[in-house]
């Protein structure tokens, strides 16, 4: 016995909602144990959790496995092992390309099924950790090679967006870090160029680049290295642009650059847009927000039917769900850190804001995300209509019913049932790509600290905790990073 039209529609809607809420597992939910262990600084447990997690070790998620393994070993201060995995990640990015199979999986199933190639900002953060690892290992020459790779990454990023100022075509933090590495190696000329390039990114963005104001320390680094190279005209030009002058200081023991990493990067989640049917046709285009509220979204029906010249038009839709990624920020404390050494106090400045950068960069490509999601639905609707027609023809050809009218009705019902099943499968498999490198910090702050020769006791005052570290002033530029959450 077949359901009548209205009953069938109600049944379809109920099944679709059940499928939706049973198929919303995100990348973060599959990695919860691992991230909880990291947050609790239980690194051995985190390593065990990572090693036994088959999901992240699948070929399509291999880059994230390398990222997380590299970051975890860095937190454990096993810098050689950290760079082993980060170099694997670097090579993966260099050699892996999106294949025809990836495109097919993304269109027929969802983008979570294709090979993850990393967010743009994650690639720059990989260079940050690799560079620090080499510096911690006193492998300055290798750190300089990493600094040069930052230039290659910057050039590729600039080419990707034609160096547009309204797109993430550069990373000011990576250029700033590049200057520090060159300076540590004694290459003041390249240090000046990198510092200047970083400052120019901020200046072109009205002194605020993805949530980071132009750091006062960076201004001083540009001016100091310009003076060291004898670039008097450049020093004067930037003093006017910065509205400040070079501040003299002396440090017979060299300097320590302390990076303070705060919190965790935002979690990528999915937001669902729906098209449903009622007795009058389409009831509209809307999505449910995190609290379950229904929010209507403008949708160009005419354009959709124009680009979709086949039987899978809007009028034939039982339902449509489009999943779009968005970032949920989970750590907002970016209070500066006070540092005291040799009876002098210093305050950290923000160097990288991954919270703002992640959210804004995703917004910049949102039209592309929506276009890809709609294209994915077009492909899925074609498979649904093809399955429905095939099932109808098979039922008609194999039917022993002599009454032609009943034969047609039975065949049509068989086709509709088959189409419904494919529709349910398409709906269940519709997901946004919610993968991202979530153990990255939400913010990175930094402070440059003058040292005396010999032992220096440095006190780091956070909001609730005070830490003390000892650094031996050796006359050079040293680096240290600390995670706070």
What six digits make up the tokens of 401?
A: 């019913």
Question: How high is the pLDDT of residue 383?
Answer: 77
**Dihedral pair phi/psi, residue 104, rounded to 5°:** -65, -45
Question: Residues of 172-187 as b/e, b for ≥16 C-beta within 10 angstroms?
Answer: bbbbbbbbbbbbbbeb
Question: How high is the pLDDT of residue 2?
Answer: 43
Interacting residues of 400 by C-beta distance below 8 A, sequence separation 6+ = none
**Dihedral pair phi/psi, residue 185, rounded to 5°:** -85, -5
Question: How high is the pLDDT of residue 169?
Answer: 95
Residue 100: pLDDT over 70: no
Helix (H, G, I), strand (E, B) or coil at 53: coil
Residue 62: pLDDT over 60: yes
DSSP for 125-173, written as a single string: HHHHHHHHHHHHTT-HHHHHHHHHHHHHHHHHHHHHTTT-TTS----HH
DSSP state of 474: -
Question: Residues of 380-419 as b/e, b for ≥16 C-beta within 10 angstroms?
Answer: bbebbbebbeebbeebbeebeeeeeeebeebbbbbbbbbb
User: What sign does the CA torsion over 202, 203, 207, 208 have?
Assistant: negative
pTM, to two decimals? 0.84
Question: Residues of 32-43 as b/e, b for ≥16 C-beta within 10 angstroms?
Answer: eebbebbeeeeb
Alpha carbons within 13 angstroms on the beta-carbon side of residue 89 total: 29
Instruction: Answer whether 445's CB lies under 8 Å from 351's CB.
Output: yes
- pLDDT above 90 covers a percentage of the chain that reads 61
- Quick: pLDDT tens for 264-313: 999 999 887 765 544 444 444 555 555 666 655 554 555 445 444 444 45
Q: What angle do CA 452, 480, 470 make, to 5 degrees?
A: 45
Interacting residues of 75 by C-beta distance below 8 A, sequence separation 6+ = 38, 41, 43, 483
- Mean pLDDT computed over every residue of the chain: 85
More confident residue, 247 or 399: 247
Over residues 325-352, mean pLDDT: 94
Distances (CA, A) of 290 to 29, 218, 287, 294, 328: 16, 40, 10, 10, 10
Instruction: Answer whether 273's CB lies under 8 Å from 297's CB.
Output: yes
**For 135-144, 176-185, 332-341, which range has the lowest pLDDT when averaged over its residues?**
332-341
Give the confidence band of 9 by pLDDT, cuts at 50, 70, 90.
Answer: very low
DSSP state of 400: -
Q: Is 325 exposed, middle or buried (0-12, 13-18, 19+ CB in 10 A)?
A: buried
Question: How high is the pLDDT of residue 166?
Answer: 87
Over residues 82-86, mean pLDDT: 98
- Quick: pLDDT tens for 421-433: 777 777 677 788 9
More confident residue, 179 or 104: 179
User: Using only C-alpha atoms, what is the Rg of the chain?
Assistant: 28
For tokens 């690892």, the residue is 133
SS3 of 254-266: CEEEEEEEECCCC
Q: From CA 126, how far away is CA 9, in angstroms rounded?
A: 50
The neighbouring-strand residues paired with 275 are 285, 320
Give the confidence band of 371 by pLDDT, cuts at 50, 70, 90.
Answer: confident
Question: How high is the pLDDT of residue 106?
Answer: 66
More confident residue, 250 or 269: 269
Strands 477-484 and 255-262 turn out to be: parallel
Over residues 131-147, mean pLDDT: 97
- Chain centroid to CA 333: 20
DSSP E strands: which ranges in 243-293? 255-262, 267-278, 281-288
- Quick: pLDDT tens for 199-229: 999 999 999 999 999 999 999 999 999 999 9
What six digits make up the tokens of 78?
A: 């096993």
Order the strands of the 349-353 sheet from edge to edge: 349-353, 443-450, 255-262, 477-484
Q: Of 178-192, 241-255, 317-331, 409-423, which one has max mean pLDDT?
A: 178-192
What six digits make up the tokens of 58?
A: 């699948």
For tokens 């027609």, the residue is 389
What six digits make up the tokens of 444?
A: 């990175």
**Dihedral pair phi/psi, residue 162, rounded to 5°:** 55, 35
Over residues 40-46, mean pLDDT: 96
Over residues 50-64, mean pLDDT: 95
């Amino acid at each position: 016995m077949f359901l009548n039209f209205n009953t069938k529609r109600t049944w379809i809607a109920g099944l679709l909602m059940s499928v939706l809420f049973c198929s919303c597992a995100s990348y973060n939910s599959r990695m919860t144990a691992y991230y909880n262990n990291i947050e609790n600084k239980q690194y051995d447990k985190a390593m065990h959790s990572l090693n036994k997690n088959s999901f992240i070790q699948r070929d399509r998620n291999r880059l994230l496995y390398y990222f997380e393994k590299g970051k975890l070993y860095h937190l454990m201060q096993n810098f050689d092992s950290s760079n082993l995995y980060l170099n694997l990640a670097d090579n993966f990015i260099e050699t892996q390309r999106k294949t025809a199979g990836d495109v097919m999986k993304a269109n027929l199933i969802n983008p979570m099924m294709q090979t993850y190639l990393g967010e743009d900002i994650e690639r720059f953060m990989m260079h940050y950790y690799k560079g620090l690892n080499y510096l911690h290992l006193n492998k300055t020459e290798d750190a300089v090679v990493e600094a040069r790779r930052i230039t290659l990454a910057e050039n590729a990023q600039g080419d990707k967006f034609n160096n547009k100022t309204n797109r993430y075509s550069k990373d000011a933090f990576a250029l700033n870090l590049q200057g520090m590495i060159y300076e540590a190696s004694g290459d003041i000329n390249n240090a000046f160029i990198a510092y200047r390039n970083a400052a120019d990114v901020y200046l072109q963005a009205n002194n605020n680049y993805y949530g980071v104001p132009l750091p006062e320390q960076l201004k001083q680094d540009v001016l100091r290295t310009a003076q060291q190279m004898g670039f008097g005209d450049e020093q004067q030009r930037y003093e006017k642009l910065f509205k400040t002058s070079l501040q003299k200081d002396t440090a017979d023991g060299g300097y320590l650059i302390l990076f303070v990493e705060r919190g965790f990067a935002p979690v990528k989640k999915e937001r669902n847009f729906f098209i449903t049917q009622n007795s009058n046709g389409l009831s509209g285009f809307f999505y449910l927000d995190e609290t379950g509220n229904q929010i209507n979204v403008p949708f160009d029906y005419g354009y959709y039917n124009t680009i979709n010249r086949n039987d899978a038009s809007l009028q034939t839709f039982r339902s449509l769900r489009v999943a779009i990624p968005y970032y949920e920020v989970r750590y907002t404390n970016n209070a500066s850190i006070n540092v005291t050494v040799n009876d002098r106090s210093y305050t950290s400045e923000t160097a990288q804001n991954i919270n703002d950068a992640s959210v804004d960069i995703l917004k910049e490509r949102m039209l592309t995300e929506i276009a890809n999601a709609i294209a994915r639905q077009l492909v899925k609707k074609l498979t649904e209509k093809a399955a429905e027609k095939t099932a109808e023809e098979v039922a008609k050809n194999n039917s022993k019913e002599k009454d032609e009218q009943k034969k047609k009705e039975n065949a049509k019902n068989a086709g509709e049932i088959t189409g419904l099943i494919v529709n349910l499968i398409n709906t269940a498999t519709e997901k946004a790509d919610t993968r991202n490198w979530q153990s990255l910090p939400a913010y990175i702050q930094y402070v440059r600290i003058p040292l005396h020769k010999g032992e220096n006791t440095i006190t780091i005052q956070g909001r609730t905790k005070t830490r003390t570290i000892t650094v031996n002033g050796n006359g050079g530029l040293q680096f240290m990073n600390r995670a706070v959450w």
